[in-house]
Amino acid sequence: MTDRYTGNEIPGARLVLDAGVLSTGLDGSATVELLSETAPLTIEASGYESITTTLARGGPADWQVALRPTVLRGRLADAETSSGIAGATVAVVAPDGTEQITTTDTDGRFAFERVPEGATVRFSSVDHGVAEVLVGERTEIDHEMRPSFVSGQVTDATGAPLAGARVAATNGSAESFTGPDGTFHLTGGTDVGEVLISAPGFAEQTIVVGESRNIAATLEGEMIKAVYANLGVLSDPERWNRLIEIADTTEINAIVIDVKQDTIYYDTQVPFFRDIDGMVTPLFDPEELLAELDARGIYSIARMVVFKDPVVAEGRPDLAVRDEVTGGLWRDMNGAPWVNAFHHELWTANADLGAELARLGFDEVQYDYIRFPSDGDLRTADFGDDYSEASRRAAITGAVALGGERVREAGAVFAIDLFPIIALLGDDQGIGQTLQDLTPLADYVCLMVYPSHYELGNIPVDGHPNDFPAETVRYTLERSQEWVPGTMKKMRPWLQDFTYPLEGYSVYGPAEVRAQIDAAEEMGVSGWLLWNAAGEFEVSALAPE
């Protein structure tokens, strides 16, 4: 009997036969006398994989047996100090995925007794990250890992600590958040060479990790002020250039660009959408568009509609809201079908699109229509068995959480558009949105504060909110903080730069637009977005560059 890996003899191995038990001698050998034509034989040795076979008369007189060792021992050490890493998790992972887990002792040592063939050992240390090593033909593995933790403090330009700032490894392996004193300890990463530091209302900063692995970061305040480019603007060079001119000559420093509304306006490579006829209708080249914006220092925001998705609903009726009466697709007051936000396949497809947009180079990805439908005869809409507020909120929260995770991993900021009524009333209003659920999941919350869309009595003013632009903005933002205190820097509202086309509604000109802007900034938001579906804005309401 020999060791398969080393070829050394194995003394004391047990040979179990019907007639009794034998043991190998110091030279690893034993002599067996067969009392019958055949005899079952099991060979065992401590620390080795046993073998069961059958011996037969007429077979070879000498039989060489090599047993595979199953013991694995080793030490995990810090590559810089050579000291053992205590308390690290060590897992032996079999080819079928099953695991054996232990932790290193005070000197970084570990041991396993039953290691399967073809196994991998995975080391995981809070301060050193994760590493995997193939066991192969080894019974001892000493492995070194470099520290991966990063610590430090984040402050603003005045030196005040920034609580809640996000600190993430740029390779996506770990993230952390600063405490009340602005300090952080980033752990669990792998090969962390630089970190991205961001906080609502501040320009993000990428910092190379030095030998000390300690960082002192100072973030500068940033106000994003954007206009909106829809399908018509994107397809008309003259109108597009007009927006560029506004950004070049006024305080506007960002453009919200429609990338998905009914169809997708660029040549996406996301398979889900490419498989739906008519869904991809390329209108612009993202690389060219973003190159122009980057050259001019204009912040780029990709707006994508999520669940008001009529082409997807028509192409994949299994994912659509159904009509209980007709048996076909349910349609809103404008005749448009909606997809059903309960389907996880939709969450994943939109998250894939958001991540693709981030990789293309958009600074920010903005989810819109992340909700259940609100307009139309909902009495006939079939969403499934459970259409409770709890289930609606869970669906929208799940979709937003996945989208935010994927977008950030791909390197962009994540924002969400929400109905302002949820800030006034606090419940989900039948659409699945609440500030309480969603604000923690996004970098920025864009409440669509259009005074003309409010109703009489929504806010405490003497008349229709449309006649009180500043008061509407101020009151809505104040109420938002009652539901999610301390998040004003996350607020970046959509403001009204259009006149509502109904008799008796006040005309919105430069004064009304400016009143909203001033009210929002006085409340301490981190920026604002101007909505005009035609892409025509009150430039005289804007401050010079």
Longest Cα pair distance anywhere in the chain, in angstroms? 111
In the block, which residue shows the tokens 């609903």? 313
Integer Cα distance of 300 and 259 in angstroms: 11
Contact 109, 84 (CB under 8 A): yes
**Domain segments of the chain: what residues?**
2-67, 72-145, 150-219, 224-541
Please give the pLDDT value at position 378. 94
* Rounded distance between C-alpha atoms, residue 298 and residue 545, angstroms: 12
CATH pick for 224-541 out of 3.40.50.2300, 3.40.1640.10, 3.20.20.80, 3.40.47.10: 3.20.20.80
Fold adopted by 150-219: Immunoglobulin-like (2.60.40)
* Cβ atoms 304, 256 nearer than 8 A: no
* Equal fold, 2-67 vs 150-219: yes
Residues 354/365, Cβ–Cβ less than 8 Å: yes
> What's the pLDDT score for residue 299?
98
What is the three-state SS of 462-512?
CCCHHHCHHHHHHHHHHHHHHHCCCCHHHECCEEECCCCCCCCCCCCCHHH
Q: What pLDDT, on the 0 to 100 scale, is given for residue 307?
A: 98
pLDDT of residue 367: 98
In 3D space, the residue among 459, 367, 478, 349 whose CA is nearest the CA of residue 412 turns out to be: 367
Q: What is the CATH architecture assignment of 72-145?
A: Sandwich (2.60)
Tokens of 343: 């389907």
Helix (H) or strand (E) holding 155: strand 150-156
User: Is 348 buried (19+), middle (13-18) or exposed (0-12) by CB count in 10 A?
Assistant: middle
Residue from 488, 492, 489, 443 nearest 168 by CA: 443
Task: Give 10-residue mean pLDDT values along the chain (545 residues).
Answer: 94 89 93 87 94 87 92 95 96 96 98 96 91 95 92 96 93 91 89 91 94 93 97 95 97 98 98 98 97 98 98 98 96 96 98 98 98 94 95 98 96 96 96 98 98 96 97 98 96 98 94 98 98 95 95
Write out pLDDT tens, residues 227-239: 999 999 999 999 9
Residue 166, C-beta contacts closer than 8 angstroms, at least 6 positions apart: 175, 176, 177, 196, 197, 198, 199
Tokens 């139309």 sit at which residue? 376
| Residue 497, both tokens | 């730069």
**Quick one: tokens of 385?**
């068995």
| pLDDT for the residue numbered 211 | 84
Calculate the alpha carbon distances from 465 to 200, 459, 489, 501 in Å: 29, 7, 24, 15
Superfamily of domain 2-67: Carboxypeptidase-like, regulatory domain (2.60.40.1120)
The answer to whether residues 146 and 124 touch, using CB atoms and an 8 Å cutoff, is no
Q: What is the pLDDT of residue 59?
A: 81
d(CA 57, CA 506): 107
